[in-house]
Amino acid sequence: MYVALKAGTIDATMLQIPQNFLAVDEGFVSSPPAPTVYRAVQGGLTTTEGNHQRTTRAGD
Amino acid sequence: MRIGYVSRSILDMPFIIARDRGYFREEGLEPELIFMKAAQTIPAMLAGGIDFGTATGTAIVAALSGIDVRVVFAMSDKPSFDLLAAPSITNLQQMRGKSSASRRSAPWPKFSPAQIFSPTRFRRIKLLFFLWARAT
């Protein structure tokens, strides 16, 4: 989508690190900063409830 | 221990660095990192193919649907996405009637500009969906 933005096919899009920084360096504008508009949990670790209970007990 | 990771972005990079630099080993862990699509992490965990996945958004959506998964920890509580616009657009009002693009397959609907702007008066943004193709 960064390519589409650069080509002018679209006027705006959501970009992630590092493309958001690269886009700003190339003159595109970021407005407003996403964290001021919405919150979202990203990245980390997920597992099943069963595995979580097993690993938690093993760690005790 | 097998961990299904879903991107080579900054969000999953700590796992790769920890493996490559031996940080896991220092903690007595020898995880196998398996690259897979986010949507595959849930069935893979339920089937026992992997122990952990890194697709938190997918897991939250699955948990809300009643699937027995949970998020152990989150790498960030702030979005790593920003809305980038053409230089001629200097404020949100100017987005009216403009076209934007979003990943159709994004597990988090909030990554969609349409969702971000839906509570606002900027509802006339044209939203294009691009099919997401991942280079593997």
From chain A, the residues in CB contact with B12 under 8 A are: 43
Domain match, B7 and B57 both:
yes
Q: What percent of chain B has pLDDT over 90?
A: 46
Can you give the pLDDT at residue A54? 86
Q: Please answer whether residues B116 and B92 qualify as being in contact, where contact means their C-beta atoms are separated by less than 8 angstroms.
A: no
Rounded Cα–Cα distance for residues A29 and A52 (Å):
42
Tell me if B69 is assigned to some domain. Answer: no
The last residue of one of the domains, among B46, B64, B82, is: B64
Q: Do A28 and B3 touch (CB under 8 A)?
A: no
For A22, residues 6+ apart whose C-beta sits below 8 A from its C-beta are A2
Query: Does residue A22 belong to the interface with chain B, where contact is any CB pair within 8 Å?
Result: no
Chains A and B form CB pairs within 8 A to the count of: 188
Number of domains making up chain B: 2
Query: Does residue A18 belong to the interface with chain B, where contact is any CB pair within 8 Å?
Result: yes
Q: Do B45 and A40 touch (CB under 8 A)?
A: no
Tell me if B102 is assigned to some domain. Answer: yes
pTM exceeds cut of 0.80: no
DSSP E strand stretches across chain A: 12-16, 29-30, 42-48
Q: For residue A32, is pLDDT > 70? A: no
Tell me if B80 is assigned to some domain. Answer: no
The whole-angstrom distance between A60's CA and the closest CA on chain B is 15
Q: Do B71 and A28 touch (CB under 8 A)?
A: no
From chain A, the residues in CB contact with B111 under 8 A are: 14, 40
Tell me if B78 is assigned to some domain. Answer: no
Tell me if B15 is assigned to some domain. Answer: yes
What chain A residue is nearest to B83 in terms of C-alpha separation? Answer: A14
Domain match, B47 and B10 both:
yes
The last residue of one of the domains, among B47, B64, B81, is: B64
Tell me if B106 is assigned to some domain. Answer: yes
Domain match, B20 and B58 both:
yes
Closest CA to B14 of A44, A6, A19: A44
Rounded Cα–Cα distance for residues B67 and B43 (Å):
10
H or E segment and range at residue B81: strand B81-85
**Owning domain of residue B23:** 2-64
Domain match, B59 and B98 both:
no
Query: Per-residue pLDDT averaged across B55-75, rounded?
Result: 91
The last residue of one of the domains, among B64, B81, B113, is: B64
From chain A, the residues in CB contact with B85 under 8 A are: 11-12, 28-31
Closest CA to B19 of B3, B40, B41, B42: B3
pLDDT digits (tens, 9 = 90+) for B67-124: 999 999 998 887 777 888 888 887 777 777 777 776 654 444 444 555 555 544 444 4
